[in-house]
Amino acid sequence: MNEGTIALVTGANKGIGYEIAAGLGALGWSVGVGVRDEGRREGAVEKLRAAGVDAFGVPLDVTDDASVAAAAGLIEERAGRLDVLVNNAGITGGMPQTPTTVDPATMRAAVETNVIGVIRVTNAMLPLLRRSASPRIVNMSSTVGSLTRQATPGAETGPISAAYAPSKTFLNAVTLQYAKELRDTNILINAGCPGFCATDLNGFRGVRTPEQGAAIAIRLATLPDDGPTGGFFDDAGPVPW
C-alpha cells in the first residue's frame, strides 16, 4: 500500500492532461498517467519521470469497458486506493459541426468520450476513491458548455458546435447528479474549465498555455475537506451553468 497521495489523470499524454499530471506530481503525489496508446503513454511517463514526477503508466481508453476495468485493477494492485481522479480526456468529435448538418456519428463520438467515458471511469474508480480520506473528482469541462453564456448576447462561447459544447453541458449536468448522490460522503466532485488553451484539440489556436489550463484542475484536486462540491469553476471563480 502506498501511503502518499495517488492520482489518476485521463488523457495525460499531451496538452492540459499532461500538465495536470506534471502539476500534481510536483506536489509529491504519485500520478497514474492514463493514456490509450502504448507509445504515447510510455513517452509521457518517461518525460514526467525525467522531471522528477513519481509517474506510472495506466493503459486507459475511456470508451472501452475492459480497458477501464483493467485500469482500476492496476491502481488497486499498485496502491489499494485512489485519492484523486481527474477526468480530462476529451475530444471535439471533429469540426465544423453545425447543428443543421452534423453527422450523428460526430454527436455519438463526443458524448461517448466526454460524458459516458467520464461516467465509465468514475464508476470504475469509485470503490478505490471511497477508500481515500479525502477523495476528489475533477471533470474537465468547458465554459462553452455554459447554457447561461450561450444564451447571453455577446458572451464568448466559441464556434457553433452541435456536439462538443452540448457534450460539456451534459457533463456538467452529470457532475451535478454525482454531487447530489455523493453529498453525504467525503467525495468532492466539481467541473473545471481550463480556458482557451493552445492544444491539439483546437489546432493550437488557444491563447493560454496548457500549463495555465491545468491550474484549475490542480486547484479542484487539492480542495480542503470543507471545499465545494457540485460546482463549475474556472480561474476567475464560479462559472454560470
Ligand X SMILES: NC(=O)c1ccc[n+]([C@@H]2O[C@H](COP(=O)([O-])OP(=O)(O)OC[C@H]3O[C@@H](n4cnc5c(N)ncnc54)[C@H](OP(=O)(O)O)[C@@H]3O)[C@@H](O)[C@H]2O)c1
User: Which stretch, 1-9, 47-55, 123-131, 197-205, contacts ligand X (CB under 6 A)?
Assistant: 197-205
Say how far apart CA 177 and CA 117 lie, in whole Å: 16
Cα(163)–Cα(97) distance, integer angstroms: 7
Pick the piece of the chain touching ligand X (CB under 6 A) from 69-77, 84-92, 95-103, 175-183.
Answer: 84-92
- Is 135 or 145 the residue whose CB approaches ligand X more closely? 145
Give the CA dihedral 157, 162, 168, 174, nearest 10 degrees. 140
Q: Answer yes or no whether residue 97 interacts with ligand X by CB under 6 A.
A: no
Residue closer to ligand X (CB basis): 102 or 134: 102
Interaction between residue 13 and ligand X (CB under 6 A): yes
Q: What angle do CA 85, 185, 71 make, to 5 degrees?
A: 30
**CA–CA gap between residue 202 and residue 91 (Å, rounded):** 10
Is 111 an interacting residue with respect to ligand X (CB under 6 A)? no
Residue 178 a catalytic site member: no
Residue 138 within binding range of ligand X, rule CB under 6 A: no
Which parts of 56-75 interact with ligand X (CB under 6 A)?
60-63
Considering the complex, what minimum distance in angstroms separates the CB of residue 146 from ligand X? 11
DSSP calls for 213-224 = HHHHHHHHHT--
Q: Cβ 165 to ligand X, closest distance in Å?
A: 10
Regarding 137 and contact with ligand X (CB under 6 A), the answer is: no
User: Active site residue: 18, 29, 56, 164, which one?
Assistant: 164
Counting every residue, how long is the chain? 241
Report yes or no: 190 and 229 within 8 Å, Cβ to Cβ: yes
Told to check if 161 binds ligand X by CB under 6 A, we report: no
Longest dimension (CA), the chain: 53
C-alpha cell at 218: 490542480
203 contact partners, CB below 8 Å, separation of at least 6: none
Using CB under 6 A as the binding rule, whether residue 234 contacts ligand X is answered as no
Residues that bind ligand X (CB under 6 A): 10-11, 13-17, 36-37, 40, 60-63, 88-91, 113, 117, 140, 142, 193-194, 196-197, 199-202, 206, 210
